[in-house]
């Protein structure tokens, strides 16, 4: 059951997370204040200050007006002016006056443009103690970002405990990345020189921003790499389209695959209507290119952000302008149920099998899907058996209310039936206990009321006899699906890893196959010809189906398939 919401004896993981990172932020603020208000570090907090152009104009103007003002009056005018603008204690005026009265106006202006002096500051902005400010303010930025986005994810039901390792990593690398970026900016703007003096309050703001947007900071660091090593680009070779076309098909596919794996997360959501990418041919069997799959192919003139005709990619010292093609493949969907479609409901049949209709008990049950697999967990030698399916089917009530982790459910009835109520209904065969919809997952499990009510054998199919972790070597592999709507369907793997965007939400590292599934097939098991499970169906368009890999589901839910 939904233990975290119902126990009442243990603080939820989300509250623990909030308290932990709020505590870290509070501790850092306390340490920062102590360091800045006590003598733990004896160095006075200073910043380097230069005269503004208006101040320089005033001083030079007074010196030039020698016909009307004597030297003593000029000295008092300048000293009073600097006192008025707040520099009296900061400037060594006697030394400055010696330079002012001895230099002609042209040289005086140059001298004043380069004149710097130290003044008191609430921050260390000179010398090596500047790194204290950079480190603290970058950490403040990271923690502010984590608390903001973390609480937003909790509010939306998208919080993922497994992201905590990423959070800790950000706390570790962000100060280092911030230091490198600031020193790089200083070097680039000062013609290669790095000088920690002369920095102002912008350093604090910039450090916080680099910490808050730590992922963007990594992207900026990658771009700085291109600037810093720009001189080496002259040694790189620009590969023409003719040269690319003359390469072997395997080499072309290697480069295209590398470009896709490197940049597909960047492409997702960037181009209008894009919901996936694959590698395929266009005009002939040798014309390999990046194929961008959109909902409906429109003319570029009608789009704000169209897919470009080529994508620039650098690999192993060479630049490629990789050819692209855009194809319309219809709207991609999570296989929403259509009552007019055919179905294999397994009505009045026991035991049920993977491939049969399934759904939550509800009055308006639209979310009809397919039983994926019979699975189990073993604890201290005791096995418990479960039904595996898609989150947006087994947790349809939560999904429709934008709750994407089942433990946050506000519902009271978690029973499921096979077939679904829309398909005629049946006896309750299980109760949902866990599930998650995230950027990499769409799966849930229901504990079986009576394990013998669900067979391990997939309906109309061979298996499951094992599991298969799909890699690049499996592209082109023949597979089959057994679904509530489509029944038994054969196809092949097209992409071992791509993304699919449905209703603005992108799921990464999914398997793309040829068209296997239709509405109502969500959760359907997909196996190879030996019966090895590769995953469960998540979504589809007019020409493709998208499969959540089985290994990811098993690892996240800590379950094992029941094999035949």
Which residues are within 8 A (CB) of 486 and not within 5 positions of it... i.e. 6 or more apart?
A: 516, 517, 518, 521, 524
Long-range contacts of 445-450 (CB under 8 A, 24+ apart): 445/375, 445/386, 445/387, 445/388, 445/389, 445/394, 445/557, 445/559, 446/386, 446/387, 446/389, 446/394, 446/414, 446/416, 447/384, 447/385, 447/386, 448/374, 448/385, 448/386, 448/387
Q: Is 86 left (phi over 0), alpha (psi -120 to 50) or beta?
A: left
Quote the pLDDT of residue 37.
78
d(CA 525, CA 373): 7
* pTM of the predicted protein model: 0.65
Find the mean pLDDT for residues 96-125: 71
- Model confidence at 152, pLDDT cuts 50, 70, 90, reads confident
Q: At what angle do helices 93-102 and 53-64 cross, to 10 degrees?
A: 60
Let me know: does 464 contact 361? Beta carbons within 8 Å: no
d(CA 196, CA 131): 9
d(CA 87, CA 81): 9
Q: Is 191 left (phi over 0), alpha (psi -120 to 50) or beta?
A: left
Find the mean pLDDT for residues 412-433: 91
* Cross-strand partners of 506: 501
Quote the pLDDT of residue 10.
35
Structural element, H or E, at residue 220: helix 214-228
To which residue do tokens 């923690």 refer? 143
For residue 483, the SS3 value is: strand
To which residue do tokens 């057994």 refer? 482
Share of the chain above pLDDT 70, in %: 80
- Asked whether the predicted pLDDT for residue 232 surpasses 70, the reply is no
Quote the pLDDT of residue 6.
35
Question: Do you find a cis peptide bond into 351, omega within 30 degrees of 0?
Answer: yes
Find the mean pLDDT for residues 176-203: 67
Which one has a higher pLDDT value, 387 or 411?
387
Share of the chain above pLDDT 90, in %: 40
Quote the pLDDT of residue 237.
72
Quote the pLDDT of residue 185.
75
- Asked whether the predicted pLDDT for residue 11 surpasses 70, the reply is no
- Asked whether the predicted pLDDT for residue 20 surpasses 60, the reply is yes
d(CA 497, CA 482): 22
Considering only CA atoms, which of 203, 201, 170, 218 is closest in space to residue 24?
170
Quote the pLDDT of residue 424.
86
Considering only CA atoms, which of 428, 464, 463, 425 is closest in space to residue 448?
428
Which one has a higher pLDDT value, 535 or 68?
535
Q: What pLDDT digit, counting tens, does each position of 306-361 carry?
A: 888 889 888 877 888 899 999 998 888 876 555 566 677 888 889 999 999 999 98
d(CA 538, CA 248): 35
Let me know: does 175 contact 134? Beta carbons within 8 Å: yes
d(CA 198, CA 405): 50
Quote the pLDDT of residue 469.
93
Tell me which of 46-60, 159-173, 260-274, 433-447 is least confident. 46-60
Let me know: does 559 contact 548? Beta carbons within 8 Å: no
d(CA 446, CA 30): 47
To which residue do tokens 């042209």 refer? 106
Which residues are within 8 A (CB) of 170 and not within 5 positions of it... i.e. 6 or more apart?
A: 142, 145, 146, 214
Which residues are within 8 A (CB) of 250 and not within 5 positions of it... i.e. 6 or more apart?
A: none
First-to-last alpha carbon distance for the chain, in angstroms, is: 28
To which residue do tokens 């986005």 refer? 149
- Asked whether the predicted pLDDT for residue 420 surpasses 60, the reply is yes
Strand residue runs (E) in 419-543: 428-437, 442-448, 466-467, 478-483, 487-502, 505-514, 525-528, 532-540
């Amino acid at each position: 059951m939904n233990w975290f919401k119902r126990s009442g004896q243990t603080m939820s993981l989300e509250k623990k997370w909030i308290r932990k990172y709020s505590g870290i932020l509070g501790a850092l603020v306390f340490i920062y204040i102590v360091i800045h208000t006590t003598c733990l570090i004896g160095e006075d907090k200073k910043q380097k200050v230069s005269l503004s152009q208006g101040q320089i104009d005033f001083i030079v103007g007074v010196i030039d007006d020698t016909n009307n003002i004597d030297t003593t009056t000029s000295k008092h005018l300048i000293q009073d002016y600097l006192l008025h603008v707040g520099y009296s204690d900061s400037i060594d005026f006697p030394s400055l006056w010696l330079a002012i009265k001895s230099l002609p106006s042209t040289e005086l202006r140059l001298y004043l443009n380069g004149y710097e002096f130290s003044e008191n500051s609430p921050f260390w902005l000179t010398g090596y103690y500047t790194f204290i400010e950079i480190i603290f303010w970058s950490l403040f930025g990271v923690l502010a970002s984590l608390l903001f986005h973390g609480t937003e994810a909790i509010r939306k039901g998208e919080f993922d405990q497994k992201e905590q390792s990423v959070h800790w990593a950000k706390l570790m690398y962000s100060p280092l990345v911030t230091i490198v970026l600031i020193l790089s900016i200083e070097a680039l703007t000062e013609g290669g020189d790095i000088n920690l003096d002369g920095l102002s309050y912008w350093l604090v703001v910039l450090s916080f921003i680099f910490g808050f947007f730590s992922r963007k900071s990594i992207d900026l660091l990658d771009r700085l790499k291109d600037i810093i090593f720009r001189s080496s680009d002259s040694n790189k070779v620009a590969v023409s389209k003719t040269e690319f076309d003359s390469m072997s098909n395997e080499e072309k596919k290697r480069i295209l695959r590398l470009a896709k794996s490197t940049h597909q997360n960047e492409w997702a959501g960037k181009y209008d209507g894009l919901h996936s990418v694959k590698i395929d041919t266009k005009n002939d069997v040798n014309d390999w290119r990046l194929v961008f799959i959109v909902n409906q192919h429109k003319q570029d003139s009608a789009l704000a952000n169209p897919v470009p005709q080529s994508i620039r990619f650098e690999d192993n010292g060479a630049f490629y302008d990789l050819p692209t093609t855009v194809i319309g493949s219809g709207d991609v969907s999570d296989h929403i149920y259509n009552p007019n479609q055919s179905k294999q409901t397994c009505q009045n049949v026991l035991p049920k099998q993977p491939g049969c209709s399934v759904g939550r008990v509800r009055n308006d049950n639209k979310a009809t899907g397919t039983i994926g697999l019979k699975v189990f967990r073993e604890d201290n030698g005791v096995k418990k058996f479960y039904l595996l399916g898609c989150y947006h089917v087994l947790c349809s009530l939560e999904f429709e209310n934008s709750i994407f982790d089942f433990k946050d459910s506000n519902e009271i009835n978690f029973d499921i039936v096979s077939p679904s109520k829309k398909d005629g209904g049946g006896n309750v065969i299980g109760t949902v206990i866990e599930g998650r919809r995230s950027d990499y997952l769409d799966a849930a499990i229901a504990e079986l009321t009576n394990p013998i009510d669900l067979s391990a054998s997939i309906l109309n199919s061979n298996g499951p006899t094992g599991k298969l972790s799909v890699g690049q070597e499996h592209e082109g592999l023949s597979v089959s699906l057994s679904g509530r709507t489509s029944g038994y369907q054969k196809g092949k793997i097209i992409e071992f890893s791509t993304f699919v965007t449905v209703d603005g939400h992108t799921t990464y590292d999914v398997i793309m196959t040829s068209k296997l599934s239709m509405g109502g097939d969500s959760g359907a098991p997909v196996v190879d010809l030996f019966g090895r499970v590769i995953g469960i169906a998540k979504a589809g368009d007019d020409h493709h189906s998208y499969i959540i890999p089985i290994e990811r589901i098993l690892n996240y839910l800590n379950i094992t398939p029941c094999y035949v």
